Amino acid sequence: MYGTAADPGPPEGGPPDPVTAATVDRLRGEVTGLRQAMRSRAVIEQAKGVLMARRGCSADEAFAELAQLSQDTNTKLVDVAADLLGVVAPPAGDRAAAAPGAPAAADPPAPPDLEGSRAARPSAHDRTTGGAEPHAAEPADAPDAFAARYHVAAAAAAAAADADELARLLCRECAAVLGADAVAVAALEPDGGLRLVGTSGVAMARVSEWHRIPPQTSIPLVDAVRTERPVRIRDQADFAARYPHLAAGRLMPGAGLCALPLSGPDGAALGSVAVSFPGTDAVLDDADAMAYLHSLAGLCARALARIGAGAAPGEAGPGGAMWFRAFVDTLLDPMLILVPLRADDGPRAVADFRVEYANSATVDLAGRTAEDLTGGRMSELYPGMVESGVFARLLEVQATGVAYEGLAEQFVELVSGALHSSTMTLRAVRFLDRLLVSWRIHDEDERHAAQLSQARSLGRIGTWHYAVGTGELACSPEVFEIIGLPESAALPTLGQAAELVNAADLDAITTAWDKLLTEHRRQTVEFRIARPDGGVRSVRASAEAAPGPDAESALMVSGVLQDVTAGRRTQDALAAARSALVEERGRTEVQHDAVLTLQQALVRSPESVPADIRFEAHYIPAESAARVGGDWYDVAGLPDGRTLVAIGDVSGHGLPAVAGMMQLRHALRGMAYTGAEPAQILAWLNRMLCHQRADYIATAVCGHLVDGVFTWAQAGHLPPLRVRDGVPDVLTPPSGMVLGAVEEARYASTAVRVAPGDVVLLYTDGLIEHRGDDLGRGLSRLVRTVRDGPADDVRACVAHVMKTLGTPNPQDDTCLIGFQVPSGPG
């Protein structure tokens, strides 16, 4: 962390060399990584030994296998090693002591014959430490989760530097497996009292109140030491019943609690540890969970014996007292309590500072919290301070006692390869034997102000305040912009502002204003204003009144004014579009009904079919009303004895398509009465459409049946299907292109024999064509459908095809006709 030219500091100060800063950051990261690795090294080494014994491999091969497992399962290496070991430290005796039925402190004592002699029960040392060996074996039925977490906890506890770090590690492990929310570690003093030496998750104010616990005080921590048994508190009601004098001032935050005694290798009492839970019924009644708590208590006892209880937090000097830490926690700004670290060259030569405590508001530029900073050296945490001169100022404050408060400076810090910067004001002051360092980041306030300004600008919202007693009106710049006045203009009075309002809206505003002043209820009203530039704006005003001392009259009215012109115009346009849509929908429905009526009239069953021909037709309009098209067919007996059979499809939809369908159908029937061949009829139709310059094209099949011969021609239409003896056959179409495309187009006729009993089917593309499909697959589907259905009767055949394929097509009409020359009477 270093400052910039805003407050340059000593001549030799300045931003650190980037290479040096990067090197320091890399070395700091390596040191942090080594500390973490030391915590898990024991677990990994044990797992390597297990693999070497089982696989008969070398240490390098065992480590490689662990690393591969970690990579394959995306799991931390230490967790893989712990899972492999599958062993928790406490022996079987711990499980017995932790069973739900085992007696606990403050529980009713069991009868002597059930309780047994002390020699028959595990000693306090056995219950809490599991003996002198740090990794005793767990019974075979121990849960794997507890087994894995125990080894991680053991490695972490072995690397704890002090009791506070030990409490944090234990709380982390209990939270991970049991859902704990706080841990407190207390050391036993010669007079039998307890002293809190490490806490995690406990409010500093509570720690200050309970840092020294007299021996005659009955609380779970003391009772656990005195009875050499765990003390289990199930909920707040249980605590209040057993400790009524502490109901309003308990140490631990959770609803339930478990306190366990701590013993050294020789069985001597060391103190106790308490773990609290938001809810404990499941934990306290679970033998495995209680055994795991005993195991952690054993780890805590060994770590406490190793690191020593030391001085109570805050007793090394008055500046670190617990009451002062509790006070620091109430501050809104981050604050560090620094302990001077003196060099070897003189009793008063301070070389560095250690972060003894960081309050709960502490978050530095890199996002590190109080837990991350506590215990670290300032020169290691913020190496940029040394080169920028800020660190020298801290040393000067420590030496002279003169407080330092810098100006707003740009501070920069490199952490884990990432550069973090912010504008802040740093303050340092000596307090007794400590140094207090605090800072205030200005970026947050500036960012909030910028965001608020941007929100007002984007939302076209201005704020205003009106003092009822003085009549003074204050407005933000956005209000001036909305009403069309320059910011340099004089503030308008309430009367002048009312003159801008459209006369038709004044009554609504007056009513809302009266309610605001008399009823003191928030009011919102929308009205129009006439700007000085001639423009008209729609605005929405919302306001609320602050009542005076008598609670009847209003003292101040505050509100916002928002320009809603764009939204109002959009709503008006939507309303107009909605009305137009309703009208258009009505016209479309009328048109659709007319189209269906005309179409049904044109394609109704023919009345002049010769008696010796069986005929069947089906027509289904498009599913979408807007897509009703121009499919048509015609069957009629001609004067010369032939039977006209025709089908077609006009491009387009709606009334234009129906009009084209009517024109083609009537023209084709008229031309058929001339006795012309089908190819000639199609040629005449094509010339007619081209000459008329019609705005549509059409496809058609035109044919006539006489004496068992069907002569037909086609204009870009799908070929008919002949069914003989149940076998469908697609007829080979003669040449011919769509009608209305090219005036010189030529058409040819072809003839096919229709024996008695044969069925001939003609259809439009709506029957076989669907979205995402092509005509080839659709035609094959039609052939299969006909082959699988009845083929000896045209009515049954057409009905089967329509049932299978004739569902309404969303995009087009569907038309199918069929005729048959009977094989016998009837």
Q: Which of 331, 382, 332, 376 is nearest to 357 (CA)?
A: 376
Q: Which of 348, 324, 349 is nearest to 336 (CA)?
A: 324
Least confident of 36-40, 59-63, 181-185: 36-40
* Cβ(814)–Cβ(767) below 8 Å: yes
Is the model more confident about 40 or about 728?
Answer: 728
Q: Which of 320, 314, 313 is nearest to 432 (CA)?
A: 320
Query: How far, in Å, CA of 758 to CA of 770, rounded?
Result: 29
Tallying the residues shown for the chain, one arrives at 826
Q: Tell me what pLDDT residue 601 has.
A: 61
Give percent helix, percent strand, percent coil of the chain, each to the nearest 5: 40, 25, 35
Concatenating the DSSP letter of every residue in 710-765 gives EEEEEESPPPPEEEETTEEEEPPPPS---BTS-TT-----EEEE--TT-EEEEE-G
Q: Tell me what pLDDT residue 645 has.
A: 96
Q: Tell me what pLDDT residue 688 has.
A: 94
Is the model more confident about 346 or about 740?
Answer: 740
What pLDDT, in 10s, does the model give residues 597-654?
Answer: 666 665 555 666 777 789 999 888 775 555 566 889 999 999 999 999 999 999 887 7
* Angle (CA) 641 643 648, round 5°: 155
Question: What are 551's two structure tokens?
Answer: 């609670």
- Whether 161 shows a pLDDT value over 70: the answer reads yes
**DSSP helix/strand/coil, 540:** strand
Query: How far, in Å, CA of 241 to CA of 230, rounded?
Result: 18
User: What is the average pLDDT across 360-371?
Assistant: 85
Q: Tell me what pLDDT residue 104 has.
A: 41
- Whether 124 shows a pLDDT value over 60: the answer reads no
Distance of CA 365 to the CA centre of its chain: 27
- Whether 781 shows a pLDDT value over 50: the answer reads yes
Distance of CA 203 to the CA centre of its chain: 33
* Angle (CA) 162 163 166, round 5°: 95
Least confident of 133-137, 220-224, 672-676: 133-137
Alpha-carbon Rg for the chain in angstroms: 47
Query: How far, in Å, CA of 137 to CA of 133, rounded?
Result: 10
Could you say which DSSP state residue 101 is in?
T
* Cβ(787)–Cβ(781) below 8 Å: no
Q: Tell me what pLDDT residue 657 has.
A: 83
**DSSP helix/strand/coil, 25:** helix
Q: Tell me what pLDDT residue 602 has.
A: 58
Exposed / middle / buried, residue 40 (Cβ in 10 Å: 0-12, 13-18, 19+): buried
Query: How far, in Å, CA of 767 to CA of 783, rounded?
Result: 12
Give residue 477's identity as a one-letter amino acid code: P
* Cβ(480)–Cβ(561) below 8 Å: no
Q: Which of 588, 587, 621, 574 is nearest to 602 (CA)?
A: 621
What pLDDT, in 10s, does the model give residues 506-541?
Answer: 999 999 998 888 888 899 999 999 888 888 989 999
Q: Which of 263, 133, 137, 132 is nearest to 188 (CA)?
A: 263
Least confident of 151-155, 507-511, 679-683: 151-155
Q: Tell me what pLDDT residue 278 has.
A: 86
User: What is the average pLDDT across 568-592?
Assistant: 83
What pLDDT, in 10s, does the model give residues 743-779?
Answer: 999 999 999 999 999 999 999 998 998 777 788 899 9
CA distances from 9 to 350, 389, 400, 426 (A): 20, 6, 17, 13
What pLDDT, in 10s, does the model give residues 225-278?
Answer: 988 899 998 888 888 888 888 866 788 888 889 999 998 877 778 899 999 988
- Whether 587 shows a pLDDT value over 50: the answer reads yes
Query: How far, in Å, CA of 574 to CA of 54, rounded?
Result: 77
CB proximity list for 753: less than 8 A, separation 6 or greater: 708, 709, 710
Q: Which of 708, 723, 703 is nearest to 648 (CA)?
A: 703
DSSP H or E segment with residue 555: strand 554-563
CA distances from 642 to 705, 784, 823 (A): 6, 31, 19
Least confident of 369-373, 385-389, 786-790: 385-389
How many Cα atoms occupy the beta-carbon half-sphere of 21 within 13 Å?
22
Query: How far, in Å, CA of 55 to CA of 153, rounded?
Result: 27
Q: Tell me what pLDDT residue 634 has.
A: 92
Q: Which of 758, 755, 753, 763 is nearest to 726 (CA)?
A: 758
Least confident of 22-31, 322-331, 785-794: 22-31
- Whether 575 shows a pLDDT value over 50: the answer reads yes
For the chain, which domains are there? Answer: 86-307 (3.30.450.40), 452-563 (3.30.450.20), 603-820 (3.60.40.10)
Confidence of residue 51 (pLDDT cuts 50, 70, 90): confident
* Cβ(362)–Cβ(373) below 8 Å: yes
Query: How far, in Å, CA of 200 to CA of 300, rounded?
Result: 14
Q: Tell me what pLDDT residue 625 has.
A: 54
Confidence of residue 544 (pLDDT cuts 50, 70, 90): very high
* Cβ(164)–Cβ(47) below 8 Å: no
- Whether 44 shows a pLDDT value over 70: the answer reads yes
Least confident of 120-129, 650-659, 674-683: 120-129
Query: How far, in Å, CA of 116 to CA of 118, rounded?
Result: 7
**DSSP helix/strand/coil, 35:** helix
Is the model more confident about 60 or about 306?
Answer: 306
| DSSP E strand boundaries for 375-531 | 404-405, 409-415, 418-431, 434-441, 461-467, 473-475, 523-530
Question: What are 145's two structure tokens?
Answer: 């989760």
- Whether 742 shows a pLDDT value over 90: the answer reads yes
Across the chain, mean pLDDT equals 79
- Whether 378 shows a pLDDT value over 80: the answer reads yes
* Cβ(206)–Cβ(257) below 8 Å: no
Q: Tell me what pLDDT residue 18 has.
A: 53
Query: How far, in Å, CA of 710 to CA of 39, rounded?
Result: 97
The residue behind tokens 């009829």 is: 681
How many Cα atoms occupy the beta-carbon half-sphere of 441 within 13 Å?
19
User: What is the average pLDDT across 414-439?
Assistant: 80
CB proximity list for 388: less than 8 A, separation 6 or greater: 1, 2, 3, 9, 13, 14, 15, 16
Query: How far, in Å, CA of 120 to CA of 228, rounded?
Result: 15
Percentage of the chain modeled with pLDDT above 70: 78
Least confident of 16-25, 130-139, 543-552, 723-732: 130-139
Q: Are strands 473-475 and 461-467 parallel, antiparallel or unpaired?
A: antiparallel
Q: Tell me what pLDDT residue 738 has.
A: 96
Handedness of CA 478, 480, 482, 485 (dihedral sign): negative
Q: Tell me what pLDDT residue 33 has.
A: 57
Q: Tell me what pLDDT residue 421 has.
A: 72
Query: How far, in Å, CA of 490 to CA of 777, rounded?
Result: 80
